[in-house]
A = this chain, B = another copy of it.
């Protein structure tokens, strides 16, 4: 099933490695390393520089020196998180300490490498990071369609959806919302159509993926 060879060609574009390091020789060395295995590379010399660039639209990862001019790599990590950019980060450090490492890892860094960095370690880390980003993007994409269709629902349809997905019968939904059962049925049909759900099971999974709260949901022990 999972074929390695076709992954490079298929998917949503070639992955890219973003490098942020103020040392030109380091940037050059890393760029060469990644290009030698066929990865696209984009290099930056400061945190500010990459924050101005547009977030990549393909699976990618960041290789980040922890010590950067201006803000530290950890600050950049926090800024990216605040900006809702979840590109996986690999840190490099010349003189890092353990608390710094722990903080970075707790904030979601995929790896934390010490100089001198062994080429293979870096490539392994980048490989893992890009794979992680690819999975995240796939998951994101799979619900984005659902989300946009949900946005197209009217307020009332959303009310009905929440209760229907909770497992209530039409008559219970009607009672809950002060409607006639026939009205609920009609909304329900519109919901199925607008959401593109072929079955109630579909609809339930969509609402769960959207994180819509259940009014009477349980799953008792």
Contacts and interface: CB of A to CB of B under 8 A. Distances in A.
B205 A217 contact: yes
A63 to B, nearest CB: 15
Q: How many copies does the complex hold?
A: 2
A221 interface: yes
Contacts of A218: 198, 202
Nearest to A138: B221
Given A201-B217, A202-B218, A202-B219, 8 more contacts: A101-B102, A102-B105, A102-B111, A102-B112, A142-B221, A169-B199, A196-B220, A209-B219
A199 B219 CA distance: 11
Interface of A: 93, 96-99, 101-102, 105-106, 111-112, 114, 141-146, 164-169, 196, 198-202, 204-206, 208-209, 217-221
B98 A201 contact: no
B219 A206 contact: yes
A93 B98 CA distance: 10
Most buried by B among A97, A144, A219: A219
Contacts of A220: 145, 196
Contacts of A221: 141-142, 144-145
Contacts of A99: 114
Contact of A198 (B145, B167, B199): B167
Contacts of A98: 93, 96-98, 101, 112, 114
